[in-house]
Structures are given as structure tokens and as C-alpha cells.
Amino acid sequence: MKTSVEADLCISCAVCTNMVPDVYEMNDDGLAETIVDVVPAELEEQVREAAAECPAEAILIEG
């Protein structure tokens, strides 16, 4: 599984960076970004939950 954050949509609510800090991090612009190329299998469920919880629907999931 891969994931990314649509920077144009992110409103910096930090749900993703709090829920899955090993996958999402706030960048210098105050927007979330992905810090792994491939989501580790044990974090896939948390990534799906973060995507569902993101109020801006800014989290994309592939695969």
C-alpha cells in the first residue's frame, strides 16, 4: 500500500500525524506529508482509519 497527502486539500488538522506518526509528518509549510514510500503492513489499518478520519479527505491511498 502507498499513501500520499493532497497538499491543496490538507487543512493541517493533524489527525493523520497523531494517528500514524511513523507514516505522516508535518512539513515546514504546516502540511502533512508521507515519510515512507511503502506503508508497513502493520500500519495499513491505521492508515485507512486516518484517511477516513481526515476532515478534508486529503489522504490518498493506493494499492
Residue 32 Cβ vs ligand F3S, minimum distance, rounded to whole Å: 4
Dihedral angle, C-alpha 50, 44, 24, 3, nearest 10 °: -90
Dihedral angle, C-alpha 20, 3, 47, 29, nearest 10 °: 40
**What track of x and - describes contact with ligand F3S for positions 5 through 34 (by CB under 6 A)?**
x----xxxxxxxx--------------x--
Q: Which of 1, 36, 43, 56 touches ligand F3S by CB under 6 A? A: 56
Pairwise CA distance, residues 52 & 27, whole Å: 21
Interface with ligand F3S (CB under 6 A)? 5, 10-17, 32, 54, 56, 58-59
